[in-house]
Amino acid sequence: MAEKDLISKDLIKRLIQEISTHIFGLNLDSIEVLETQFQRIEERRADIVVKVTEAGRTYILHIEIQNNNQSIMPVRMLRYKTDLIFQYPHIDIVQYVIYIGKAPLSMSSAIISEGIDYQYHLIDMHTIDCQHFLQHSNPDALVLAILCDFKDQDASDVIHYIIQELKIYHQENEQGFRTSMLALEILSTNRDLKEQVQYEEKKMLSMRWDELPSYDIGLEQGLEKGIEKGIEKGEKKGKIRGKEEVALKMKHKGYAITDIADITGLSIDQITAL
């Protein structure tokens, strides 16, 4: 989930709530997104690390989404855990790996050897019936269906059905629909299906590419790298004006003013005045 650094923490929390409820069977009371970056010789960044509270118990929840079998996965997970212990020494750490690859699951979920008895939770999405998610009217469950094994169904048909059901569920709630679609696009990257999701969305809704939910991620990334269209145009008119144009577009799409300020570098007063 490399794009998670470019989306709002509220959306990360929403994805975690969906995954925890529908896949892990957890009933989380609160979720706090944590910033983690581990360095030894190489830089490593865990997929998702959050502090959660469940039934009065507070712990660190670490989730990795894996689309291929790696024999060294238990070693990777152990390294993540030791790094997290150093960073958060007085709190329990619960780890999950969600396997979504096409090949049968062959990874181990433990290291049992002299002096080491280590295990983590390993979820095989092939064992979770995709139809269970597709038959839900709940948009969160529909979004998670993108991670399931489609069996003999064509990916385009499944994606078309998901988007159609999301559109029906949200009806006139455009912001709710865009939030669900953004979550769908983000999760689809783990199955190399993002282009198909965007194609089906564009085809069904007659949208331009710059109207897709994930286009906003491109705007944010462009602000960081100086390559987004809005910034390129803004450079001709003045850097501040370029940021104001992006901020105004984000306001229209329902972003919180504080998030817009963090992303664009403009003050809250400047954004409010737009």
Residues 122 and 27 in one domain: yes
118 and 168 in a common domain: no
* Model pLDDT for residues 43-91, shown as the tens digit of each residue: 556 678 899 999 999 999 999 988 889 999 999 999 999 999 999 999 9
Do 29 and 97 fall into the same domain? Answer: yes
> Of 155, 244, 246, 248, nearest to 195 (Cα)?
155
Query: Tell me, what's the pLDDT at 62?
Result: 93
24 and 120 belong to one structural domain:
yes
Residue 121: which CATH number?
3.40.1350
For the chain, what is the mean pLDDT? 79
Residue 192 lies in a domain: yes
* 123 and 161 housed in the same domain: no
Give the best-scoring range by mean pLDDT among 6-15, 99-108, 245-254.
99-108
- Last residue of one domain, picked from the residues 71, 103, 127: 127
Tell which residue, 58, 65, 155, has the closest CA to residue 101: 65
- Statement: residue 13 has pLDDT above 60: yes
Whether the pTM exceeds 0.75: the reply is no
- Where are the extended beta strands (E) located within 76-198? 93-99, 110-113, 116-119, 121-124
Same domain, 201 and 235: no
- Does residue 133 contact residue 187 with C-beta atoms inside 8 Å? no
For residue 221, tell me if it sits in a domain. no
Give the per-residue pLDDT at 210.
Answer: 56
Average pLDDT over residues 168-183: 87
Same-domain check for residues 244 and 205: no
Number of domains in the chain: 3
Of 27-31, 143-147, 212-216, 265-269, the least confident: 212-216
Q: Is residue 220 part of a domain?
A: no
- pLDDT over 50 (residue 217): no
pLDDT band at residue 1, thresholds of 50, 70 and 90? very low
Per-residue pLDDT, averaged over 138-164, amounts to 87
Whole-number Å distance between alpha carbons of 188 and 124: 17
* Shared domain check, 47 and 140: no
H/E element holding 38? strand 38-39
Give the pLDDT band of residue 208 (cuts 50, 70, 90).
Answer: low
Do 103 and 136 lie in one domain? The reply is: no
Q: Domain of 193?
A: 130-213
- Asked whether residue 240 is domain-assigned, the answer is yes
103-148, pLDDT tens digit by residue? 889 999 999 999 999 999 999 988 887 787 888 778 888 888 888 8
Q: Are residues 32 and 138 both part of a single domain? A: no
What is the CA angle 31-28-164, rounded to 5?
90
Whether pLDDT at 7 is above 50: no
